Chains A and B, each alone.
Chain A
């Protein structure tokens, strides 16, 4: 059931919350340059975007957002602007990486191709109905273990690939405030399927997904009161993830987590964000039981 995804089936969507994308795009150039980029300029950002030459790209701005969605209830400001990119893409697959993330490097110092890994995750089946203790059985050198029913070995289509982050992990404001110096240094060499009916917090920092199938579930519907431009302050992606997982479970499709890693620099003041995020923290207490049943 594995198949090949072509480069021209993929858009890379980047939310530009800061105007200067030079370092970000230059670091990702060897990996991104084959693909079409959709860059969505954060609506409140006034300065012009700086985009180095040589990328096949399209920029969407506030005026595009207003023209297309007009007076809709959806707020595409802050980190939510990327969802406008998901809306405007016409490709089957979207990969999105935050612009404070650079390619992680392997032990030999070479940049890890996060895009290729997301594509590989989406090309190969997921296995949500029974846990394989050797993780993704479709990775080279792995397989289904003894006791794995043969009828489940075809797997199902993977519609969401949720990647991880070295350096600054995606913690919430309270955790970051209490552990400001903690860095994620652990490279876990695994991809795995999130089991059926198991909920997880989807981090929008580093994801790939099948836009045709799952796109409609990724809507920035949940915004916190006073939400700012820091990742720490947002829950929109968490909300999308809960919806996406519920829908995927219902449609018998799969969600993978694990590789690829990106190197995240992160930003923001945890104490400042705490004031804004704590509302979301409270909300999760209601959302999780709702989503779980």
Chain B
């Protein structure tokens, strides 16, 4: 079980150990880190402890980490701490905000190392790094998937002018074993397991939205960080289990606007724990109805030419959320406020990092 990390392909993927933080939300314990040790130990961990701040979370020895509980979040953000969820793994986005690194990898504490069809342990972090360091191809679909993978290329008919691709902002990994289903599907198919290893990474095309799962996710914090707000969930909120969905919709709209790419597919992790479907149903209940409005909203949203940074895009988006979604539920008015608070907090904690995407508007025309 504890094993040798799977061999990197040639050329070797850089470790990026001083450029990447691993953000882990937890309420219980971090035993799962033992299995990840061969892969995670070189990296700095940011642990966001949810729930009772007086509980002591044991971090296995040998890891370099910083840990924040609710008291720390309140102390650091003051009144702006209201934007960070409590009693929900959405609190992880606090970790994104306090990180000083270029890349983030976030993983749930019930996710373990998976094996590929040859039986080799999968170094998920290495694959995310490969995904993030190679371009995405959002402007035209490549039928052989990621052309930057070893052994693949652009197919006949793929325009040469689009072969440089776009910088990859997000790398969305998948899960073997317990699939990320909603509560109704879980209730109908309690025994279904994802056993299919799909050996592909692909870019989600520009203009296409997707349900982003936060269980196994990498991103370039400098390119897209401020858009990765996981919303108001959990305690005192009418919704849960839509934190990552919300961030995914916002981030994708902004990536599309700024000419950035989103990849999905490899790597797989092994998702070990199925949460209680009845609990999930109570959390998701509003989301199941609201998503019918939310997705058309995000699909039809446009951002102005003047929004040339992620922060500006996000503030513009928050205004549209307030204008158009408050009628769905007053919650969205609160969420719009929280989105603004988040950006203010982000800019306070990260004063010098206002990244302007290289082809903010040129790429928008390029589809």
Partners in one complex: yes
C-alpha spacing A288/B174, complex, angstroms: 31
Would you call B67 an interface residue if the criterion is a C-beta within 8 Å of the partner chain's C-beta atoms? no
Encode B132-157 as 1/0 by CB contact (under 8 A) with A.
00000000111111000101111111
B140 with A288: CB separation less than 8 A:
yes
Interface centre among B155, B157, B196, B197, by most chain A C-beta atoms within 10 angstroms, is B157
Q: Please determine whether B199 and A146 come into contact, CB atoms closer than 8 angstroms.
A: no
Q: In the docked arrangement, what's the CA distance between A292 and B161, Å?
A: 15
Min CB distance, B342 to chain A, in Å?
21
Q: Which residues of B contact A231 (CB under 8 A)?
A: 156
Residue pair A184, B152 in contact (C-beta under 8 Å): yes
A54 sits at the interface (CB 8 A): no
Which of A145, A147, A197, A284 has the largest number of chain B CB atoms within 10 A? A147
Q: Is residue A179 contacting chain B, with contact meaning CB distance below 8 A? A: yes
Check A292 against B245 for contact (C-beta < 8 Å).
Answer: no
Q: How far is the CA of A222 from the CA of B153 in the complex (A)?
A: 24
Q: Which residues of A contact B288 (CB under 8 A)?
A: 150
Q: A175-B154, A197-B207 are in contact. Are A141 and B192 (CB under 8 A)?
A: yes
Assuming A147-B182, A186-B151, A190-B198, is B157 touching A284 (CB within 8 A)?
A: yes
Looking at the assembled complex, report how far the CB atom of A182 sits from the nearest CB atom of chain B, in whole angstroms: 7
Partner-binding segment picked from A27-35, A41-49, A117-125, A166-174: A166-174
Q: Please determine whether A196 and B194 come into contact, CB atoms closer than 8 angstroms.
A: no
Determine if B205 and A203 form an interchain contact, defined as CB atoms under 8 angstroms apart. no
CB pair A169 B153 closer than 8 Å: yes
A162 to B156, CA, bound (A): 14
Query: Is B65 located at the chain interface by the 8 A CB criterion?
Result: no
Interface pair B196/A189, CB less than 8 Å apart:
yes
Q: A146-B211, A147-B245 are in contact. Are A188 and B153 (CB under 8 A)?
A: no
Check B292–A170 contact: CB distance below 8 A: no
The minimal Cβ–Cβ distance linking A168 to chain B, given in whole angstroms, is 11
Any chain A CB within 8 A of the CB of B213? yes
Binary contact track A253-293/B, C-beta < 8 Å → 1, others 0: 00001000000000000000000000001001100110011
Report whether B159 and A288 are in contact in the complex, using a CB–CB cutoff of 8 Å: yes
Q: Are A198 and B141 in contact, CB atoms less than 8 angstroms apart?
A: yes
B157→A285 contact, CB < 8 A? no
Pair B209/A141 contact, Cβ less than 8 Å:
no
Cβ of A151: which chain B residues have Cβ within 8 Å of it?
A: 292
Complex alpha-carbon distance, A203 and B144, angstroms: 11
| A135 contact from B180, B181, B198, Cβ within 8 A | B198
Whether A188 lies near B145 (C-beta < 8 A) is yes
B210 to chain A, nearest CB (A): 4
B194 near A281 (CB under 8 angstroms)? Answer: no
State A257–B195 Cα separation when bound (angstroms).
21
Docked-complex contact A162 and B143, CB < 8 angstroms: yes
Contacting B156 at CB < 8 Å: which of A132, A133, A197, A201?
Answer: A201
8 A-B pairs within 8 Å (CB atoms) are namely A133-B172, A134-B174, A143-B179, A146-B213, A148-B211, A195-B207, A198-B208, A284-B157
Please provide the 8 A-B residue pairs with the shortest distance between their CB atoms, ordered closest to farther.
A201-B157, A147-B211, A238-B157, A198-B205, A200-B141, A195-B208, A131-B210, A172-B156
A200-B141, A201-B155 known, 5 other contacts, Cβ within 8 Å: A132-B210, A133-B264, A142-B196, A189-B197, A285-B160
